[in-house]
Amino acid sequence: MPPRRKLSDLDRGRAIGWLQDGVAARQVAQRLAVAPSVIIRLKQRFHATGRVQERQRSGRPRVTTQREDRFIQRQAMQQRMATANNIRQRLQATTNTVVSGQTIRNRLHNFGLRARRPVRGTTLTANHRAARRAWCTQHVRWQRQQWAKVLFTDESRFCLEPADGRIRVWRRRGEHFAEGAVLERQRFGGGSVMVWGGISTRLRTPKGTATSPSSCQSGSTAAMAPAGVEWRSQSIHMQPDPLHAPTMC
């Protein structure tokens, strides 16, 4: 992470205290995760003015109040995929304040929100979520020897008509999977190619592929499962006899 360029009033006071105790400016900068030049300028300002606060800067006045800034943040958090222009229009309709789209982006940047590509995820209903939670609860205490009898499978479809990826979502650092920040989509619109495979602790299946010229509904993944494998909704248990049927890892 790049070093910060600004310090809070509390950190400025701590920095001056350390400097007066004889701590080197570079060490103070490391403790506060800032560039050494920040500490050097702070020291010079303190010696010149006796204050640690930054001087008030003259410049263009802010066109939004703190209340309007919170409104902008709330709109972005409630509707993550709203554009800056959408938020600008809502602000104008609600408060009669006219700002530019860049002003909206600046306010959101101040709150740590940046426009990023959303993580793509399959649409899940409440029943889907409940079933997945129940499965995890059922298997949370399984031991290694129990998992050794399970064949883990996965499949990947490569769609011939992917989305253009121009949709953006407002989110903070670490909010990839935050509610409202994931772009739900119906799976596999248009033609596609699917790759299927499975692994266990000692074995793996031959790679299988299937194509769907117009709809991903055609072509069954069960037809590509290795002999003796029992298909289940979340895990696939291998029968004892054909355990060595798949290719060895």
Q: Residue 221 — very low, low, confident or very high, per pLDDT cuts 50/70/90?
A: very low
Indicate the range of 106-120, 158-172, 233-247 predicted with least confidence: 233-247
Average pLDDT over residues 29-47: 88
pLDDT in tens, 154-203: 888 776 655 555 678 888 888 888 878 887 766 555 567 788 888 888 88
Q: What angle do CA 49, 55, 60 make, to 5 degrees?
A: 160
Measured distance CA(243)–CA(136) in Å, rounded: 25
Contact present, 58 and 43 (Cβ < 8 Å): no
Between residues 64 and 228, the one the model is more confident about: 64
Q: Say what the pLDDT of residue 109 is.
A: 92
Torsion of CA 177, 179, 183, 186, to 10 degrees: 110
Contact present, 210 and 224 (Cβ < 8 Å): yes
Name 45's Cβ contacts closer than 8 Å, sequence gap at least 6.
Answer: 51, 52, 54
Model confidence at 246: pLDDT above 50 = no
Q: Helices marked H in the chain — which ranges?
A: 9-20, 25-32, 36-49, 66-78, 84-95, 101-110, 126-139, 144-147
Contact present, 185 and 193 (Cβ < 8 Å): no
pTM of the model: 0.42
Name 71's Cβ contacts closer than 8 Å, sequence gap at least 6.
Answer: 91, 94, 95
Contact present, 113 and 172 (Cβ < 8 Å): yes
Q: Say what the pLDDT of residue 105 is.
A: 94
Q: Residue 57 — very low, low, confident or very high, per pLDDT cuts 50/70/90?
A: low
% the chain with pLDDT above 90: 33
Q: Say what the pLDDT of residue 165 is.
A: 59
